[in-house]
């Protein structure tokens, strides 16, 4: 017996196409639970309401669109203004990095008494392919600070820091400002300037007081150029969220040392140790080589033994021991011997104020002063004391 499959006549099939299409559309827009419900072949008129209902935007898509609209409705970021004062070897590079990492809508005002440095930096910033903050060259330190939210100073001596802040604070308009001093000066001078800021800087309309923090750095010109500086920060812990982002635009690490002044205390303690280690390394290398030791062999022994230190491992005073060290380029570049002598003097002053004995400070100061006075050592990296001691080159 043959079973005959019912065949719809062509006209009957064609008449069903609109209903079939409606069912397909409904099926596409159904949830899994709706799909299993019997839909049935119903007339086009009865499917009209179903089609209209099911053609609405799926829930997930509607949710996405709402989130997207909310994302564009956030409060716009407040624009920032910066003042940068002091464009020496360190400040010049720090200002470049800061500007490059700011928004194009922000502004940085630059000042230095060296007009050539200002002009060169403004030109470099203008020609930079990196979009950054707008740059304004100003005539005075006060002009750099008057409209700034954050003021950064990088100056050579305590007297310079005091003079600049005295000029800035005179009749300063009311505004909450953060003053970040990256100069290496003695802690007592820094605390004196901090007190003058607290006394002279008027409170903002919100009642917030301007603040002065110390943030000396380590890493030298190489670190300033590469943006890898380490900052030793002295400020109240509550100010960290406001200060740290600015410093990280110019460096890699921020070490919070405690309240205002402690950043400098940490920096000077470190540099005192560095000053002494540098002389001792030069003496040890000279001694071993006079005994007939190869300088690389001697340095290798020291650097896996208890004498290991930064001057022996990274800044070795003997040419050829460490590739790229100042010793290999006639002690040019690096950390100047005059700066080392200055930092050592600041450490001695700070130690006297703290009542701390520094038995080696006097002799170390004599060595750096005498070495700097020699023409063959003047203006060179502080590892040049090896030359002053008569080391073989």
The two three-digit tokens of residue 112, written as one number: 């230095």
Closest listed residue to residue 85, CA positions, set 94, 77, 75: 94
C-beta of residue 234 within 8 angstroms of C-beta of residue 181: no
Mention every residue, 6+ apart, whose C-beta is less than 8 A from residue 333.
221, 326, 381
Rounded CA-CA distance 262/7 in Å is 95
The two three-digit tokens of residue 167, written as one number: 């000029």
C-beta of residue 335 within 8 angstroms of C-beta of residue 382: yes
**Cα four-point dihedral sign 47, 48, 49, 50:** positive
Phi-psi region of 337 (alpha: psi -120 to 50; beta: other; left: phi over 0): alpha
**Cα four-point dihedral sign 270, 274, 277, 279:** negative
The two three-digit tokens of residue 228, written as one number: 């890898």
Q: Could you say which DSSP state residue 95 is in?
A: H
267 is catalytic: yes
> Any bridge partners for residue 137, and if so which?
110
C-beta of residue 252 within 8 angstroms of C-beta of residue 96: no
Closest listed residue to residue 89, CA positions, set 194, 180, 184, 179: 184
Q: Is 144 helix (H, G, I), strand (E, B) or coil?
A: helix
Exposure string (b/e) for 52-72, b if CB count within 10 Å is 16 or more?
eebeeeeeeeeeeeeeeeeee
Q: Which of 267, 296, 342, 363 does the annotation list as catalytic?
A: 267
**Angle in degrees, 0-180, between the axes of helices 10-28 and 44-54, rounded to the nearest 10:** 20
> Any bridge partners for residue 83, and if so which?
109, 151
Catalytic residue IDs = 267
């Amino acid at each position: 017996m043959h079973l005959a499959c019912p065949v719809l006549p062509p006209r009957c099939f064609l008449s069903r196409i609109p209903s079939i299409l409606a069912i397909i559309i409904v099926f596409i827009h159904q949830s899994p639970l709706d799909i299993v419900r019997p839909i049935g072949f119903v007339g086009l008129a009865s499917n009209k309401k179903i089609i209209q209902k099911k053609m609405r935007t799926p829930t997930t898509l509607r949710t996405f669109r709402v989130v997207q609209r909310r994302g564009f409705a956030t409060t716009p970021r407040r624009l920032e203004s910066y003042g940068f004062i002091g464009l020496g070897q360190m400040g010049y590079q720090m200002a470049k990095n800061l500007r490059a990492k700011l928004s194009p809508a922000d502004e940085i005002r630059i000042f230095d008494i060296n007009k050539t440095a200002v002009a060169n930096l403004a030109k470099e910033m203008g020609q930079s392919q990196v979009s950054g903050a707008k740059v304004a060259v100003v005539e005075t330190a006060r002009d750099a600070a008057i409209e700034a939210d954050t003021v950064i100073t990088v100056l050579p001596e305590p007297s310079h820091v005091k003079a600049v802040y005295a000029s800035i604070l005179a009749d300063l308009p009311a505004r909450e400002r953060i003053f970040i001093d990256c100069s290496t000066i003695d802690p007592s001078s820094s605390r004196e300037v901090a007190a003058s800021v607290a006394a002279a800087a008027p409170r903002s309309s919100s009642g917030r007081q301007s603040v002065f923090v110390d943030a000396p750095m380590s890493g030298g010109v190489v670190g300033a150029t590469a943006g890898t500086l380490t900052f030793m920060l002295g400020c109240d812990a509550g100010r960290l969220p406001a200060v740290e982002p600015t410093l990280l635009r110019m460096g890699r690490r921020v070490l919070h040392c405690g309240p205002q002044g402690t950043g400098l205390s940490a920096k000077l303690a470190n540099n005192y140790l560095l000053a002494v280690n540098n002389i001792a390394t030069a003496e040890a290398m000279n001694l071993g080589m006079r005994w007939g030791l190869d300088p690389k062999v001697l340095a290798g022994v020291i650097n896996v033994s208890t004498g290991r230190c930064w001057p022996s491992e990274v800044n070795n005073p003997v040419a050829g021991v460490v590739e790229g060290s100042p010793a290999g380029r006639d002690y040019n570049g690096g950390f100047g011997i005059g700066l080392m002598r200055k930092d050592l003097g600041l450490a001695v002053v700070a130690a006297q104020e703290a009542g701390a004995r520094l038995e080696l400070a006097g002799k170390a100061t004599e060595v750096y002063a005498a070495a700097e006075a020699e023409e063959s050592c003047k203006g060179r990296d502080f590892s040049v004391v090896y030359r002053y001691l008569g080391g073989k080159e």
